[in-house]
């Protein structure tokens, strides 16, 4: 969804006319119309005011998919942590087995003498 479409939908959901929204973000009705039609784009300061007025984050306004990226990174980290834990368990088990073999070998070697 384009930024203009997003502004239009959020403006309608909030019950604002183009003129009312323009007053709240300190621009003209024509500017709001241009944004909604995709002819121009709001500057960063106007984006901040839009975000506050329409009660959405700038990321949501711009369809910035940061939440999914973050969730994917966390998921990958959890998966990697799980693999590391399994590897540590296997190494620990191998260490214990080798220790038991060494103890048994030591006992057998001392009894053979």
* pLDDT recorded at residue 65: 67
Q: What is the mean pLDDT of the chain?
A: 92
User: Where are the chain's structural domains?
Assistant: 3-61, 65-113
For residue range 65-108, what is the model confidence (pLDDT) as tens digits? Answer: 666 777 788 888 999 999 999 999 999 999 999 999 999 999 88
Residue 88's alpha-carbon distances to 74, 84, 101, in angstroms, are 21, 6, 20
Task: Tell the residue number behind the tokens 């191998």, with chain if given.
Answer: 94
Looking at the chain, the whole-number percentage of residues with pLDDT higher than 70 is 96
For residue range 25-59, what is the model confidence (pLDDT) as tens digits? Answer: 999 999 999 999 999 999 999 999 999 999 998 98
Q: For residue 29, with 0-12 CB atoms within 10 Å meaning exposed, 13-18 middle and 19 or more buried, which class applies?
A: middle
Q: Which CATH number does 3-61 carry?
A: 1.10.260.40
Quick check: helix, strand or coil at residue 36? helix
* pLDDT recorded at residue 113: 64
- DSSP state letter for 15: T
- DSSP state letter for 17: -
């Amino acid at each position: 969804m384009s930024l203009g479409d997003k502004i239009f939908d959020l403006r309608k959901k909030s019950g604002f006319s183009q003129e009312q929204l323009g007053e709240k973000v300190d621009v003209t009705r024509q500017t709001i119309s241009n944004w909604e039609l995709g002819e121009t784009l709001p500057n960063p300061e106007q984006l901040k005011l839009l975000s506050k007025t329409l009660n959405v984050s700038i990321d949501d306004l711009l369809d910035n998919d940061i939440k999914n990226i973050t969730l994917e990174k966390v998921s990958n980290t959890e998966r990697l942590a799980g693999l590391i834990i399994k590897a540590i368990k296997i190494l620990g088990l191998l260490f214990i087995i080798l220790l038991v073999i060494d103890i048994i070998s030591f006992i057998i070697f001392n009894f053979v003498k």
